[in-house]
């Protein structure tokens, strides 16, 4: 069976709604996904903005075209989230998700169960606006709750983990991965959850014709 790498970012609404359909691959194909953080620099391609609690824009560095893309992306992600009763509240600023990403790397070292639990609670609470993912103590608590051993995390976050994360982001971009979720099997890259039919086809040994892209996962 081919190995599947999946690249995610906790601040991406599209990666959030792809999480459970992606987990389903593990059960369907009896595999363990190799997860990596891909920390997006959203401001570099969608500009930056900040809103207050009533949704009013109080800081704006976005073009009309960028606003169009951002508004559509949230509307699109929210409609799919609501079909699964997931809460997805638009963020009020562009978050730096690197601390949560380093938490992910730490959880990964602790095993699949801890990583899955950490990812689940981080996504769920962040998209309910209950989580400051830039706060080290918040991430530490998430790791503890996920069942990870947190001894040494603080030092890891500021040294080895940070260096690994930053080096990883550089390598990821060199490999040509630029967004989330990204799926990689046998060096073949599929970007976006609409590629899940192709990921399944690839994992199944490429039977028949390459399927088309589609948001076709059914999650009970």
Partner 1 sequence: MAAFEREGLTLFIDFNCLPTYLAVDGVCRLLDETGVEERWVPLVKLPGNTSRGTGATDPLAAYKNRRAGAKRRFAERELQRNCERMGISREQGARDIDSSTAALGLLWLHEIQAKRDQFRAYVKSVFLAVYRKPESVEDLDTVVKKLDQCGVVTDGFREASVDEYLAKLQAVQEEIAELGIFESPAYIYEGECFQGRQHLPLLGWLMSGRNGLPPV
Query: Shortest approach of partner 1 to residue 45 CB, angstroms?
Result: 7
**Per CB under 8 A, 220 contacts partner 1:** yes
Number of residues that bind partner 1 (CB under 8 A): 38
Q: Which two tokens stand for residue 155?
A: 């030092």
Q: Which of 10, 80, 123, 183 binds partner 1 (CB under 8 A)?
A: 80
With beta carbons less than 8 A apart as the criterion, state whether 179 and 15 touch: no
Query: Shortest approach of partner 1 to residue 32 CB, angstroms?
Result: 23
Asked if the bond preceding 181 is cis, omega within 30° of 0, the reply is: yes
**Per CB under 8 A, 213 contacts partner 1:** yes
**Per CB under 8 A, 173 contacts partner 1:** yes
With vertex at residue 125, the alpha carbon angle to CA 16 and CA 69, rounded to the nearest 5 degrees, is 40
With beta carbons less than 8 A apart as the criterion, state whether 39 and 165 touch: yes
Query: Shortest approach of partner 1 to residue 215 CB, angstroms?
Result: 5
With beta carbons less than 8 A apart as the criterion, state whether 36 and 6 touch: yes
Give the C-alpha separation, 169 to 120, whole Å.
Answer: 22
**Per CB under 8 A, 205 contacts partner 1:** no
Q: Which two tokens stand for residue 146?
A: 């996920």
State whether residue 89 is helix, strand or coil. coil
**Of 58, 5, 62, 69, which is closest to residue 31 (Cα–Cα)?**
5
Q: Which of 30, 44, 54, 205 binds partner 1 (CB under 8 A)?
A: 44
**Per CB under 8 A, 206 contacts partner 1:** no
Considering the complex, state which of residue 113 and residue 167 has its C-beta at the smaller distance from partner 1: 167
* Run of H or E including 18: helix 13-29
Query: Shortest approach of partner 1 to residue 185 CB, angstroms?
Result: 13
Residue 23 burial class via C-beta count within 10 angstroms: exposed 0-12, middle 13-18, buried 19 and up: middle
Q: Which of 28, 41, 52, 60 binds partner 1 (CB under 8 A)?
A: 41
Site string for partner 1, 3-32 (x = CB under 8 A): --------------x---x-----------
Q: Which region among 6-14, 40-48, 51-59, 115-123 touches partner 1 (by CB under 8 A)?
A: 40-48
**Per CB under 8 A, 216 contacts partner 1:** yes
**Per CB under 8 A, 210 contacts partner 1:** yes
């Amino acid at each position: 069976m081919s190995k599947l790498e999946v690249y995610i970012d906790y601040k991406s609404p599209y990666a959030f709604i792809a999480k459970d359909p992606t987990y389903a691959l593990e059960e369907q194909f009896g595999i363990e996904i190799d997860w990596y953080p891909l920390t997006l620099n959203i401001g570099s391609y969608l500009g930056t903005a900040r809103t207050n609690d009533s949704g009013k824009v109080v800081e704006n560095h976005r073009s009309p075209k960028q606003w169009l893309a951002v508004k559509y992306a949230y509307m699109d992600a929210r409609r799919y989230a609501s079909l699964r009763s997931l809460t997805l509240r638009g963020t009020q600023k562009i978050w730096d998700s690197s601390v949560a990403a380093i938490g992910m790397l730490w959880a990964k070292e602790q095993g699949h169960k801890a990583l899955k639990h950490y990812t689940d609670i981080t996504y769920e609470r962040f998209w309910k606006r209950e989580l400051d993912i830039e706060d080290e103590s918040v991430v530490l608590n998430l790791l503890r709750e996920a069942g990870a051993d947190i001894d040494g995390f603080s030092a890891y976050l500021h040294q080895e983990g940070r260096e690994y994360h930053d080096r990883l982001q550089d390598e990821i971009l060199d490999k040509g991965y630029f967004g989330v979720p990204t799926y990689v099997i046998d060096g073949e890259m599929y970007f976006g959850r609409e590629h899940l039919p192709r990921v399944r086809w690839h994992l199944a040994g490429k039977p028949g014709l390459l399927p088309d892209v589609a948001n076709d996962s059914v999650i009970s």
